[in-house]
A and B are shown apart, each in its own frame.
Chain A
């Protein structure tokens, strides 16, 4: 099929009334939770996962991805207006965005953020459409050894590029992998780590872990301290930026898009890392770096374009290799598995409608977000005044009923308690739950391929270094770990992530 054919196919799938509706619901929900502090896209996708059982596969994926990129738009609104980033990825937007708002240029900051995001989303969607078929046909030749190397690369790279302590993150990956092994072993039929409970024979449900670690634990942490509210800059000002503001921001949008698209593909990358990197790029190339922090429009345009591009391009490794790069992508993988789709290189070939439909819907969703966000800004600002105490009971109900509906049993809900408490303890211990989730979804894939590769090589571990692709992947992983030991890089990494605590 030529590029035009697949594009036609994608849009014919995405433009059906139901899929358009799901796209709209996703974008709307994403904006909503992006605006509301205290609930992030990861938690929302976790909570809504069970609901997607009842939707058609494509509709479910369209809606969930809409939530993810919609949250990037919504998060910037509150960052600019009240200096309260709704999402971690909007933290840098708040620096200059809020200063612009104090100068009465909130409208221009919001418009540049939205337009930049739209442009970046479009470019990253095209990148996905171009990279998808190439990467997946390359990955089709992968054998078990390559998959093992890819899993290890993905898991370890994710711990290095994400913020927080690397060694603790590797421990979390191990914990996640172990949790992924619970249940009946397919090869031998013996029950593993089930503590003699027949309810665990099918393994732990993905939804249970996701809702516990990200939903319940988040509510418990949010309720610990009382809310902090910024001061609302009520005057939004003229929405359309001046010619001068356009001139200052288009370069930043271009650079931000490039940074975001590249960083989003890397394991552990995605929206937050992209936004932070884009901000430092802008500060470096600017002829007036002293303006940053005092309302420089480039400091809004660059990171906003980058976080949206990063959000979109983090779909590339998932849809082409079947390897999620961050916790949201792990959720998407969970959603695909729920619908019987095995994410990986064969998706594009066997279900072209699904892949191209999703790609096309992302572009449509970005266009919808432009409309949802700019004219309706007043409505979103009003929503900020809803207190958390009225919001979280609804979230709690969604969590519990959703988990119950997976297999219609109270056992899963009881299991959520364990993971909720675990998630709370992990937050106190400053351990990231993301790597755990990545380990959990990749555990079975890693084990199957490891066993197969070792069986084929008759127990020779050297097989991973004899095959070129796996050797390169492992060499890169080793190099990254090695570089981390060097003090200079450790210091730089620490500085880069210092501000990104979320």
Chain B
């Protein structure tokens, strides 16, 4: 609390992780309040379905505001190295799996997931990717679809 008025960092800086956390909590709280705007709030004796969601979202947004304000006045702290390539690649890989699992079956979904997913690591080599995709897809089909009985077609046709 002593660092609230730090003259060395007038506008730039601030504790970036805290700023991010505060912003995130405020926006999620607001999102929750908006999504639950039609729910009955009720009163303490007869709580409506919206009582707890609205109360908790408000508390979360307030906490977010507190963290944000304090974060802005704290001495500068960076977020650490930011490298979005792995995350974006993984999102594309998983989205493809989610889309194709029911439509095109296990083999297509798993091959997409593994080939694209492997690109998330810059150290990956094509030869390794193809071998591991082939091995994991066939083992996966045997284990999950035939062995454990996961309800997913194996082939697209």
State the A residues within 8 Å of B (CB). 51, 54, 165, 167-168, 170-171, 174-175, 177-178, 181, 185, 187-188, 190, 192-195, 216, 219-220, 223-226, 387-390, 392-394, 396-397, 400-401, 404-405, 408-411, 413-414, 416-417, 420-421, 424-426, 428-431, 447, 450-451, 454-455, 457-461
Contacts and interface: CB of A to CB of B under 8 A. Distances in A.
A414 B98 contact: yes
A417 B128 contact: no
Interface in B130-152: 132-133, 136, 140, 144, 148-152
Contacts of B25: 171, 174-175
Nearest to B86: A223
A174 B132 contact: no
Contacts of B87: 220, 420-421, 424
6 contacts: A165-B67, A387-B123, A405-B144, A414-B99, A428-B20, A458-B45
B146 to A, nearest CB: 13
B142 to A, nearest CB: 12
Contacts, number: 195
A192 B37 CA distance: 10
Contacts of A450: 47, 52
A455 B120 CA distance: 53
A404 B151 CA distance: 9
Interface string B17-42: 11011001100100010011001100
A192 B24 contact: no
Interface residues of B, number: 70
B6 interface: no
Contacts of A430: 17-18, 21
Interface of A is mostly: helix
B86 A220 contact: yes
The list of the 3 closest CB pairs from A to B, nearest first, reads: A459-B45, A223-B86, A413-B98
Interface of B: 17-18, 20-21, 24-25, 28, 32, 35-36, 39-40, 43-50, 52-53, 56-57, 59-60, 63-64, 66-67, 79-83, 86-87, 90-91, 93-95, 97-102, 106, 109-110, 113-114, 117-118, 120-121, 123-124, 128, 132-133, 136, 140, 144, 148-152
A219 B60 contact: no
Contact of A188 (B28, B40, B83): B40
Contact of A190 (B39, B101, B124, B133): B39
Kindly name the residue among B45, B52, B60, B102 whose own CB sees the greatest number of chain A CB atoms within 10 A: B52
B64 A420 contact: no
Nearest to B94: A417
B90 A216 contact: yes
A71 B149 CA distance: 29
Kindly name the residue among B82, B97, B109, B133 whose own CB sees the greatest number of chain A CB atoms within 10 A: B97
Given A401-B150, A458-B45, A420 B99 contact: no
Contacts of A429: 17-18, 20-21, 24
B21 A393 contact: no
A400 B98 CA distance: 8
A255 B81 CA distance: 41
